[in-house]
């Protein structure tokens, strides 16, 4: 089955800096890669996703890149703000439509 | 804004008691998932259904956990008997593939 590795497990940055979270996947058949943000005590919510027919997608301060050859994808957050502090989960999904999640990255943005 | 609804939000029970958690998926979503989240284990997939049929429950301890979907608007997760190690947040999520998952607000279970 699919295996998703996510790094780092914890990321601490200063407000205004950029943050990058990286994930690798094992199944070359995976073709959909969502990212979820989970604030403390709340549910995971989709923030951005990318399908395998594109290499990059942006939405304001967040962007996701995908390298199918290397089987890795990354989340980029620019100009971080304290409200970006949360746990971020990546996932990989194929034709079964069952996502495999990474273990999560706890992002801490210091004011 | 359609939401996945989970009840109860919090449950405190004693070891050995039965616990039932309920989930109402978003109308029209045909795939329902149950996840367990602890500090150390991230999001652990317990079971999932498609068109109400259970497709995979290999993530569940079969001797004490059971998941059912009696109709399209209700999914249940039962633990009997409950143990302290079952303490966690249990999330239900639903989807209409190929669209992404939507999570409910979770049930925080504490077994003493």
CB of B76 within 8 Å of a chain A CB? The answer is no
Contacts of A46 in chain B (CB under 8 A): 100-102
Asked if the C-beta of A34 comes within 8 angstroms of chain B's C-beta atoms, the answer is yes
Interface residue B90 vs chain A (CB under 8 A): no
For residue range A42-90, what is the model confidence (pLDDT) as tens digits?
A: 999 999 999 988 899 999 999 999 999 999 999 999 999 999 999 999 9
Give the C-alpha separation, B47 to B41, whole Å.
Answer: 16
Please report the pLDDT score of residue B56 as a whole number. 84
Tracing tokens 């259904």 back to the chain, one arrives at B49
Q: Do B103 and A44 touch (CB under 8 A)?
A: yes
Compute the distance between CA of residue B87 and CA of residue B42 in angstroms, rounded to an integer: 14
Of the candidates B35, B10, B27, the one whose C-alpha atom is nearest the C-alpha of residue B91 is B35
Interchain contact A44–B (C-beta under 8 A): yes
Tell me how close the Cα of A42 comes to any Cα of chain B, in angstroms. Answer: 6
Contact call for residues B57 and B47 (beta carbons, < 8 A): yes
Q: Is the pLDDT of residue B78 over 80?
A: yes
Tokens describing residue B80:
């009997």
Confidence at residue A1, expressed as pLDDT on a 0 to 100 scale: 84
State the pLDDT at residue B57: 83
Using alpha carbons only, how large is chain A's radius of gyration in Å? Answer: 13
- Rounded Cα distance between B20 and A100, Å, is 26
pLDDT at B62 over 80: yes
Residues B63/B16/B108/B99 CA torsion (nearest 10 deg)? 20
A10 touches chain B (CB under 8 A): no
**Among chain B residues, CA nearest to A95:** B98
The span from the CA of B58 to the CA of B72, in Å, is 22
């Amino acid at each position: 089955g699919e295996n998703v590795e996510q790094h780092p497990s914890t990321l601490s940055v200063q407000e205004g800096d950029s943050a990058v979270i990286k994930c690798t996947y094992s199944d070359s058949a995976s073709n959909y890669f969502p990212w979820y943000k989970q604030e403390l005590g709340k549910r995971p919510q989709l923030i951005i996703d990318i399908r395998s027919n594109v290499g990059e997608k942006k939405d304001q301060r967040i962007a996701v890149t995908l390298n199918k050859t290397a089987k890795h994808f990354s989340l980029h957050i620019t100009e971080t703000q304290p409200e970006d502090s949360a746990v971020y989960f990546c996932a990989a999904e194929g034709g079964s439509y069952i996502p495999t999640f990474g273990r999560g990255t706890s992002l801490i943005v210091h004011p | 804004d359609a939401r996945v609804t989970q009840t109860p939000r919090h449950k405190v029970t004693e070891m050995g008691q039965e616990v039932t958690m309920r989930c109402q998926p978003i109308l029209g979503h045909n795939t329902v998932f149950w996840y367990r989240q602890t500090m150390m284990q991230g999001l652990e997939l317990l079971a999932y259904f498609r068109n109400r049929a259970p497709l995979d429950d290999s993530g569940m301890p079969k001797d004490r956990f059971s998941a059912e979907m009696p109709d399209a608007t209700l999914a249940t997760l039962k633990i009997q008997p409950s143990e302290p190690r079952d303490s966690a947040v249990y999330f239900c999520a639903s989807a209409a593939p190929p669209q992404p998952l939507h999570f409910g607000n979770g049930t925080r279970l504490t077994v003493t």
